[in-house]
Amino acid sequence: MFDTVEAFYRPGTVRETLRLLQNGKKRARVVAGGTDLVVEADQSIRFLIDITHAGLSYIRRKGKACVIGATTTMAALENSPAIRALASGILARAAATCGSIQIRNMATVGGNLANGSPAADTATPLLALDAEVVLADARGRRKIPLAAFYSGARKTARGSALIVEISIPALPRGGRWSFQKLGRTEGDISLVNAAAGLQLDSQGRVKWARIALGAVAPTPIRAAGAEELLVGRKVDQITLAEVCDEAVRAVRPISDVRASAEYRREMCRVLVKRALEECAGGTGCSL
């Protein structure tokens, strides 16, 4: 699988990682959990740079933000009290649906975003949470909104930069959240996934809304039109029907071995409705 690999490095710092990446030019590849990289089996790789010892496995507060190091595993996210308490645990719940326990013990959040997959399960809650991605290369560090990180099918704005961490800003007070996933089996990759967040006023009208969708477009997306429709309204059945129609208008699913585009469109409507009902009911999502 990696018979073209000439050297394997395990740097202990980000600085050393960046130096190795620069020296290796296009022939060097970062490996974290390896769960995507082994499947890809890219024959152009000559140097593998294992970043799991580079000090990027952490979940901590930075001011009002919650920051997550790039090599934090799905299992760590799933089991972290801080992530389970954040936004009704939508990120913990998404991480808990990523493959089997064995996969979740290896797979990292940085790898989940870096590969640019439209079905990446952590991307959808992170989009709804207005997360930002911190990138580093020889020129320094920069932070970009996750929404701007995705540039096309399996394309990101990362270039050859390293994802260092993901930053989740302070959330609206009293926000209510939901993550929904539909896969062929439990733990399978998403046919469709959805994350939503609502802040309601004292009359039950929506003050602030987020709806993010995965596996229904070339990249994970925010359904901005549907979010706008919600603001100022109560979450009743009429509003839900209009908002779900609008969300479906925003998607461009494909047909593949897992599902037809038509089925994905219909399931998108179902998952958005479930997510908003869960948010409006204030029950959060059970872990």
Ligand X SMILES: Cc1cc2nc3c(=O)[nH]c(=O)nc-3n(C[C@H](O)[C@H](O)[C@H](O)COP(=O)(O)OP(=O)(O)OC[C@H]3O[C@@H](n4cnc5c(N)ncnc54)[C@H](O)[C@@H]3O)c2cc1C
Binding span for ligand X by CB under 6 A among 28-36, 126-134, 171-179, 234-242: 28-36
Does 34 contact ligand X by CB under 6 A? Answer: yes
Q: To which residue do tokens 């913990």 refer?
A: 92
Which residue from 5, 65, 79, 103 is in contact with ligand X, where contact means CB under 6 A? Answer: 103
The helix or strand, by DSSP H or E, that contains position 107, with its residue range, turns out to be none
- Compute the least distance from the CB of residue 71 to ligand X, in Å: 7
Report, in angstroms and rounded to the nearest whole number, the Rg of the chain calculated over CA atoms. Answer: 19
- Tokens at residue 240, please? 């839900």
The residues in 135-194 that bind ligand X, with binding defined as CB under 6 A, are: 162-163, 187, 189
- The CA–CA distances, whole Å, from 77 to 14, 92, 161, 226, 235 equal 21, 5, 23, 29, 31
Residue type, position 10, single letter: R
- Compute the least distance from the CB of residue 227 to ligand X, in Å: 23
When the beta carbons of 36 and 242 are compared against ligand X, the nearer one is: 36
Backbone angles phi, psi at 203, to 5 degrees: -90, 0
Which residue from 14, 18, 20, 32 is in contact with ligand X, where contact means CB under 6 A? Answer: 32
Does 112 contact ligand X by CB under 6 A? Answer: yes
Which residue from 57, 72, 108, 124 is in contact with ligand X, where contact means CB under 6 A? Answer: 108
What sign has the CA pseudo-torsion 190, 242, 218, 158?
Answer: negative
When the beta carbons of 221 and 240 are compared against ligand X, the nearer one is: 221
When the beta carbons of 42 and 201 are compared against ligand X, the nearer one is: 42
